[in-house]
Amino acid sequence: MAGEITFVLGGARSGKTRHGLALCEAYHAERGSNPVYVATAQAFDGEMEERIALHKAERGPAWRTVEAPLDLAGAIRRESGPGACLLVDCLTLWLTNLMLGEVEADLDAARKELVAALGEALGPVVVISNEVGLGIVPENALARRFRDEAGRTNQTIAAAADRVILVAAGLPLTLKGA
């Protein structure tokens, strides 16, 4: 798994993060080191604060958390190393942050920069994302644009990844790689 990019995607509460955590924990158990959780979430309200606290408690003290709501590529470059498995959770929150920030980001450029950072990673990186394009067409323009940009982002990362795993009902299905 050293230097390998694994892309794990699925619907809400599908088990995708749990699967990603298990991949990184197995890698670190073999090496006796601690995994790194790269968080893209921002706590703008009490409900999100609770979600973040719950996820942090579920991970446990072995995990070091790095917050990267906008500069995900920079965080990957800073934190990647031969003995560290990074878990990036998640691309759809990162995309939301970019789309709704004070100054909207160039999403094509951000995707290219992310792919470049993943390609430069010195250790394995597990990237989590939501698959949001399987449901009904959203009723408003922003939601439709988000769905489309999430689809483009997922396709871009899947093309760059060594492995792609779809998780549904807690069951992983390998779409690409071994």
Q: Which residues are catalytic?
A: 55
Q: β-strands 163-168, 171-176: how paired?
A: antiparallel
**Rounded distance, CA 166 to CA 7, Å?**
8
Q: β-strands 5-10, 86-89: how paired?
A: unpaired
Angle between helices 141-160 and 107-120 (to 10 degrees): 20
**Rounded distance, CA 19 to CA 9, Å?**
10
**Rounded distance, CA 111 to CA 17, Å?**
21
**Rounded distance, CA 29 to CA 66, Å?**
20
Outline where the chain has alpha helix (H). 16-31, 46-59, 72-79, 91-100, 107-120, 141-160
